[in-house]
């Protein structure tokens, strides 16, 4: 694509309402635009990145046998009253009425609805286990939305739900999702720390949140640095391996402020190994057994023909929140998106002179050659000086650049990976570097 054709309303000034890096960058590069407090329109550049994040989340869910579906954003209040959470959830829930006066709500989560779907469809243990997920917009009426997509009212989220016959099988499903989350974040070039967490309004007796390190994180993080050295490649999805994986992570100290104990921290972790920093929650998983299935009469026939409440788990990843979190973790005056989710693989930046379009002609030739290789390429054909172009691309964060300018030779051009030294390469060598 040519940058002259791209809808990318870049602003020079930092918006006064944007207090953290991700909010500032996403507005300045035209990724999002505020529609109202805590609600954003996702513009082409931001939407493209978010959809790539979504696809990685989807692929890792599919890899563990989870089945994708889609539930509505608007739900009936009746099933929430049946579970007892309609009044308990609080003012974050947006309650509405249709023209018939029926009480409805904009779903903040989906435990009730998925349980109702399951109980009306599955009656026997022979159909278990089941794991269902969807990726859908959610709404929580935050009293003070802030920090852009990090704490907004409308957000894009993957939530999954597992259904098992007994506690042993349910905890295995929990471990599968635990491992799946670690693999998902690794593909996004994030090192996520799983930490034991409170279950909150979701409920249950087992919960972990996944934290990535960032100075602007809302949580204080205390951990043994050894937790960063655990190699995911040594585990697989076999039951024994999954149990060992969770045990390995659980055996190394890690806690957020609400679970932190200074005495235990000092007892378990050498001073030289203690990590004290801030982090951002990017995922949360819960095992709550039969909390919802009992209340909602979600019963199945076990092997003996007895009706028992199905065992359930719930698993969330904030897809839109992840985008902001990646910026917070990686942006330091220069942004570099991971190749897997970058808006483009490479940008070609020619030095354009009004009296000489030779560089632009060369840039278009490179552009066409890369397009033939199915490389997603952006050509910056804007009529502006190179200094301004470089500043712009420091914000946009495309990981590779081809610069057609003073260092170019007859058939060789400057090629660089962001935050690395440049090389002078032929088009063929550039294609080889960018080959996926």
- Tell me the pLDDT tens digit for each residue of 10-61: 988 888 888 899 999 999 999 999 999 999 999 999 999 999 999 999 999 9
Q: What pLDDT shows up at residue 201?
A: 55
| 3-state SS assignment for residue 114 | helix
Query: Class of 346-434 per CATH?
Result: alpha beta
Query: What strand order describes the sheet that includes 377-379?
Result: 377-379, 346-350, 400-404, 412-417, 422-426
pLDDT in tens, 209-263: 999 988 888 889 999 999 999 999 999 999 999 999 999 999 999 998 888 999 9
Q: What pLDDT shows up at residue 392?
A: 95
Gap between the Cα atoms of 110 and 136, Å rounded: 10
Query: Could you tell me how far CA 347 lies from the centroid of its own chain?
Result: 24
Query: Which of these, 152, 137, 12, lies nearest to 92 by C-alpha position?
Result: 152
Superfamily of domain 21-330: Bira Bifunctional Protein; Domain 2 (3.30.930.10)
Give the rounded percent of residues in the chain with a pLDDT score beyond 70.
98
- Parallel, antiparallel or unpaired: strands 206-213 and 103-106: unpaired
Gap between the Cα atoms of 359 and 178, Å rounded: 51
Domain residue spans in the chain? Answer: 21-330, 346-434
As a whole number, mean pLDDT of residues 323-335 equals: 94
Indicate the pLDDT class of residue 9, thresholds 50, 70 and 90: very high
* Cα angle, residue 159 at apex, residues 154 and 163 outer, rounded to 5°: 150
Q: What pLDDT shows up at residue 215?
A: 84
Q: What pLDDT shows up at residue 199?
A: 59
pLDDT in tens, 156-204: 999 999 999 999 999 999 999 999 999 999 999 998 999 987 655 555 5
| Token code pair at residue 15 | 């918006």
Q: Which helix (H) or strand (E) holds 388?
A: helix 386-396
Gap between the Cα atoms of 2 and 335, Å rounded: 20
Q: What pLDDT shows up at residue 37?
A: 93
Burial class (CB in 10 A: 0-12, 13-18, 19+), 389: buried
Q: Is the pLDDT of residue 354 over 80?
A: no
CB 268 within 8 A of CB 200: no
Q: Name, in order, each residue with C-beta under 8 angstroms of 145's C-beta and a sequence gap of 6 or more.
A: 37, 38, 151, 152, 153
| Token code pair at residue 240 | 């024994």
Q: Is the pLDDT of residue 140 over 90?
A: yes
Sign for the CA dihedral angle at 254, 339, 6, 423 comes to positive
Q: What pLDDT shows up at residue 204?
A: 55
What φ, ψ does residue 297 adopt, rounded to 5°?
55, 45
Gap between the Cα atoms of 23 and 28, Å rounded: 9
As a whole number, mean pLDDT of residues 82-100 equals: 92
Q: What pLDDT shows up at residue 53?
A: 98
Query: Which of these, 39, 283, 18, 34, lies nearest to 141 by C-alpha position?
Result: 39
pTM: 0.94
Average pLDDT, the chain: 93
């Amino acid at each position: 694509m040519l940058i002259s054709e791209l809808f990318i309303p870049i602003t020079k000034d930092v918006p006064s309402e944007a207090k953290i890096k991700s909010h500032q960058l996403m507005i300045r590069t035209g990724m999002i635009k505020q529609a109202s407090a805590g609600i954003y329109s996702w513009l082409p550049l931001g939407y493209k990145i978010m959809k790539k994040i979504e696809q990685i989340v989807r692929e890792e869910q599919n890899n563990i046998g989870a089945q994708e579906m889609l539930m509505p954003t608007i739900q009936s209040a009746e099933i929430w009253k049946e579970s007892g959470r309609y009044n308990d959830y609080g003012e974050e829930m947006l309650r509405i009425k249709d023209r018939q006066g029926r009480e409805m709500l904009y779903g903040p989560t989906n435990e009730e609805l998925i349980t109702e779907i399951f109980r009306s469809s599955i009656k026997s243990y022979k159909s278990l286990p089941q794991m269902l997920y969807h990726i859908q917009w959610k709404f929580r009426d935050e009293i003070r939305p802030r920090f852009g997509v990090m704490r907004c009212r409308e957000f894009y989220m993957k939530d999954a739900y597992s259904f098992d016959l007994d506690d042993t099988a349910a905890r295995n499903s929990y471990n599968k999702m635990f491992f799946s989350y670690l693999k998902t974040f690794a593909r996004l070039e994030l090192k996520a720390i799983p930490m034991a967490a409170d279950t909150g309004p979701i409920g249950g007796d087992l919960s972990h949140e996944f934290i990535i390190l960032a100075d602007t994180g809302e949580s204080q993080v205390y951990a043994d640095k050894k937790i960063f050295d655990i190699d995911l490649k040594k585990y697989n999805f076999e039951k024994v391996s999954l149990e060992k994986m969770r045990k390995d992570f659980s055996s190394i100290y890690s806690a957020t402020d609400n679970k932190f104990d200074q005495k235990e921290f000092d007892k378990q972790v050498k001073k030289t190994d203690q990590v004290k920093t801030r982090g951002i929650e990017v995922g949360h998983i819960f095992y709550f057994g039969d909390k919802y299935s009992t209340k909602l009469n979600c019963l199945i026939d076990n092997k003996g023909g007895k009706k028992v409440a199905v065992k359930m788990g719930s698993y969330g990843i904030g897809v839109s929140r992840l985008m902001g979190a990646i910026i917070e973790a990686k942006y330091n005056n220069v942004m570099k998106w991971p190749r897997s989710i970058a808006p483009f693989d490479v940008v070609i930046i020619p030095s354009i002179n009004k009296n000489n379009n030779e560089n632009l002609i060369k840039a278009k030739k490179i552009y066409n050659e890369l397009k033939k290789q199915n490389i997603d390429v952006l050509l910056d054909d804007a009529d502006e000086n190179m200094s301004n172009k470089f500043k712009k691309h420091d914000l946009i964060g495309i990981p590779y650049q081809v610069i057609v300018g003073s260092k170019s030779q007859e058939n060789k051009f400057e090629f660089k990976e962001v935050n690395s030294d440049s090389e002078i390469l032929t088009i063929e060598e550039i294609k080889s570097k960018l080959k996926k």
